[in-house]
Structure 1
Amino acid sequence: MKYHLCTKAILLLGVAGLLLTCQQTSFGQCKEKRSESTQQKIRYQTIPLGGKHEYLMLSSSGDEKLFSYHNEKIDLVYHVQMFTEIRFTSSRGNFSLYTTTSDRTRWNSCFTLSAPLTSKELEKMKGASQIVIILPEEKKVFSLTTKKIEMLHEALACLY
């Protein structure tokens, strides 16, 4: 009888441990870092597009939510300081983000476009199937695979 109760207790502890582990891994998907300038905690998640050198990043710091496109090996000769459009095709409604700045310099080859996100854009992003980045010298089209859509949903969950 004692053996039977011990077995049940161990089984229940094992199930509870698995549930806690699963809960921690779902929260563990979000990465965190400290802002060098404001010392605020930033939560972020990356979504690879073209290997490890080209990716999207969704990040949040307090109430601010940000979408960024990063490309470490872009062949862009220049980037005009004017609107760059990032177009989303989504089952929840198509939309565009616009950015006027890029962080590329001669000593930093990573090209970054960033734009703030509203709650409406975040909702529409949940149904995204394609992202088009329209640059002065080229147009980059990314169709999101099932895996990348899952990664996008995980990244969106990190923003809340």
Structure 2
Amino acid sequence: MPAGLRRGLYAVLALSWASGIVYFVLSRWLQVDGEFGPEKHPWQFPLLKIHGAAAFLMLMAIGAMLVNHVPATWRTRRSRGLGLSLVAGVALMVISAWCLYYAADEYWRPILGNIHAAIGFALPLILAIHILRGRRSARAKHRAHRAERASEP
């Protein structure tokens, strides 16, 4: 994957992850004293806007991944399970986000919010494992190729 695309993806992922986690913590566990009692933390709405903007950027980055990285690396047969987990996780994030924004009623919203947060929390961990395994596999392949060339007469 081109270095610029990779760095951009990591930056957008970090922004999306951080804004989502902080929003989740604020919405579930932190309130402020208002004029009429406890109310939502004032950072919740701005964080949700940042998270939504980062999500749109993530969709563009994931689209680039789906047309560049996924087809090229699928043929190598390496790290397919983790790659499929990432694609499925992103798909579930998109679906749950749409449902949270447009379709969820008061019963489903907290359930979907928890599912969305759990997947969102796990995705960077899965991505890190996927990257580390991919790099290790690529290094091993490169070493084997060098050894093969060195043994040729």
- Whether these two folds match at TM > 0.5 is no
TM-score when normalising by structure 2: 0.22
Higher strand share: 1
Higher helix share: 2
